Amino acid sequence: MSFNTTLYSSVPITPHNDGVGKIAPSHGGTSTSSSWSPEGTPPLIHNYFDAFIIVSNVVNQSQRPNAHLDTTKALKTSMMTQILLLKASMPLRLNAILTFCHDEQLGDWRSVIKNCSRGTMISFTQHMYDKGRVSKRGAMTQYRAQFGMLYNKENGRLVDTNDRKEVLKYVDTLPLDRTVKSKPVLGVDDLLLLLNCHWARDKSVYPTERHRVQFALILLLLFGTGCRPAELVDAKMKRRDNPGSDDDNPEDDVNMSGEEEDTRLYDALCYEDIRLLVVYTIPTIARGMCSLWRSNYLITKDTISAQNRETIFFFTEVDDPIFCAITHFVSLALVDEAFEAPSLTTPKRVFEERVCGPVNCTELYWKEEMLKTPIFRRDGSEAALPYNQLRDPLNRLGKISGIKEKLTSYCFRRGTANVVDHAATDAVRDQVMRHNANSALYNGHYANEKVRFDVQSAGLGRPSIDCVLRMLTHMSLMCDPRAPVHVPDEYLAALPPDPIITALEQEREQLKAGAYRIQGTSIEAEVRRLTAAIGSARTKRRNIISQEYRDEYFRRRPTEDIERHNSGQ
């Protein structure tokens, strides 16, 4: 999924000595809105939920004219095939199947799926519970559903209904956790807390200072657009040398359209997705205007877009530079020397640009060689920033700022959805979230679980305390900067070793039999698999211990503060 964007900046602006542009008085004029449509065909769009809703609408229409019956059947078959191929390419399910076949010594995974029986599905469920360490009912349901979709792809038919019911009954017998994980919502006060912590309190060392600026811009875009992380950074998983995987088939990457494609190396936000305009405005009303043209799309080798839509967002310059996305973006563009105009080399010249002639705006074009360059890049290269370099700093920033819940990109997305839902119509909210109209996705997955309405005051006929209510519904309510970020070494040393990690290490040592170099030997593949499993288990254990340590701090901290206060300390 990627993010096509367009930025608009505007006049009249005079920069201060620090290079930050401010609005200056301008001569008369009227503010006019201008529309823009891209040339050519936008990239392919595909959304999992959108696809299912489209198919559901086609299937549920019981009365159709006979003349359109064949067309509807073909559309239904084509779309169902696209969904199955798209879903089947998800690495999560294939990884689980490959591990299951390897551990149970069942042979080729395709043969296992094609000859699958009720017992095989139950064995897979038990394997995911025992060795996959799946403890949540929702996660187990997801694995079961994905197994069924892979069965559908390989066999061309659905899993038998009776077998599916029996597997579901077996899942009910497992002691799985049925609790629903909380979905925290981030507000503007939380955003200010995070940005302040990022710029003033975070002592983390970034590879370059560019990363500090682009990370702040990502936070502003996440909150200002409600986008998914894959629309900003490269979220594609690396290919593995696995002969049994469909993702490694080179024939799937061949362009079958017969037309030349303007190849884009990275499925992330690039300069060609952004337009920066200087717009003629009324000085008492408008600020600089920035518009992001987003194409909500997912390019895969198996999908063809059923709906080709783009969503355009507009940003204006903000008096507070910490909230101004235009200032952050212009700074990155200047470092990259991305402007086509040779004279645009300093912030002062960019922000002093004015509209000349009988036009409403002036576009600041990019150099041709910069159009397909990602804006958010990894250290010292032209490669797009990978998703893990966004996920990990987000998690770290949440801990440093003292937020109790784990900070993820979807905290921003839920916050944007709730803000728009409170101030706009359902149609606008669905457009911002890129949901199909009347899909009810917001109410089912994004609505704040904390009711943003003072029911008590309404019942008693008293004025509502909105300011307190707003604070109670956001993530920063339980914020405590004193919360530990890392687990002390003495605490880790006192813990007993993990039996699973110990067993894996012993198996690896027995396999190596004292050998140091394994490259080119018959045991190389197995040793590397065990090493990867050990690393994954250690990371998971460390994360669990860290989370439990922080949870324990937040649980005991109020009582300790009360006792400290009552004892006069």
Q: What is the pLDDT of residues 278-306, one digit of tens each?
A: 887 755 444 444 444 443 333 322 233 33
pLDDT above 70: residue 55? no
107: left (phi over 0), alpha (psi -120 to 50) or beta: left
Q: Which residues contact 170 (CB under 8 A, 6 or more apart)?
A: 122, 125
E strands of 24-178, at which residues?
A: none
CB 286 within 8 A of CB 279: yes
pLDDT above 80: residue 489? yes
| pLDDT per residue as tens digits for the range 435-458 | 888 888 888 889 888 888 889 989
Q: How many angstroms separate the CA atoms of 338 and 222, rounded?
A: 23
pLDDT at 309: 66
pLDDT above 80: residue 239? no
pLDDT at 532: 92
| pLDDT per residue as tens digits for the range 332-376 | 999 999 999 999 999 888 888 888 888 888 888 999 999 899 999
CB 385 within 8 A of CB 213: no
Give mean pLDDT, residues 216-220: 95
CB 530 within 8 A of CB 502: no
- Percent pLDDT > 90 in the chain is 28
pLDDT above 60: residue 308? no
The pTM assigned to this predicted structure is 0.71
pLDDT above 90: residue 135? no
Q: If we measure between CA atoms, which residue out of 259, 432, 281 comes closest to residue 353?
A: 281
Give mean pLDDT, residues 20-34: 35
| pLDDT per residue as tens digits for the range 506-557 | 999 888 887 778 888 888 888 899 999 999 999 989 999 999 999 999 999 9
Q: Which residues contact 394 (CB under 8 A, 6 or more apart)?
A: 407, 408, 409
